[in-house]
């Protein structure tokens, strides 16, 4: 089965779920499928969560700060 056939099958399944249930449940099925796909990719090592976190936070990997060294000065509350 190639990628186009798989996409057609998934599209058919989505429309069938939409017709049989309703649009909200069909979207919930897609969200669940995406979550399990991502989980399987993490378990197989295809997605590195550390690298993903560094990309999202725009910090180079391994550039963690020591605790208490933030640049923001907060006033002390007495």
Query: For residues 13, 17, 20 and 26, what is the CA-based torsion angle, rounded to 10 degrees?
Result: -170
pTM of the model: 0.51
Question: Does 71 fall in a domain?
Answer: no
- Of the two residues 77 and 78, the one the predictor is more confident about is 77
With cut-offs at 50, 70 and 90, classify the pLDDT of residue 9: confident
Tokens 């089965």 correspond to: 1
Question: Does 63 fall in a domain?
Answer: no
pLDDT mean across residues, the chain:
78
Question: Does 76 fall in a domain?
Answer: no
For residue 32, which of 14, 9, 51 has the smallest C-alpha distance?
14
Mean pLDDT to the nearest integer, 14-38: 85
pLDDT at 62: 55
Question: Does 31 fall in a domain?
Answer: yes
CA dihedral over 65, 69, 74, 78, signed as positive or negative: positive
Number of domains in the chain: 1
CA distance 14 to 22: 10
Length of the chain: 78
Question: Does 78 fall in a domain?
Answer: no
Question: Does 77 fall in a domain?
Answer: no
CA distance 27 to 35: 12
Question: Does 46 fall in a domain?
Answer: yes
Mean pLDDT to the nearest integer, 45-67: 74
Domain holding 14, by residue range, is: 3-57
Tokens 């909200």 correspond to: 24
């Amino acid at each position: 089965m190639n990628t186009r056939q798989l996409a057609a099958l998934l599209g058919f399944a989505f429309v069938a779920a939409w017709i049989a249930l309703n649009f909200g449940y069909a979207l919930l099925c897609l969200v669940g499928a995406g979550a399990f796909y991502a989980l399987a990719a993490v378990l197989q090592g295809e997605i590195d969560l550390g690298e993903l976190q560094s990309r999202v936070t725009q910090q180079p990997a391994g550039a963690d700060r020591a605790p208490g060294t933030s640049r923001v000065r907060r006033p002390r509350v007495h």
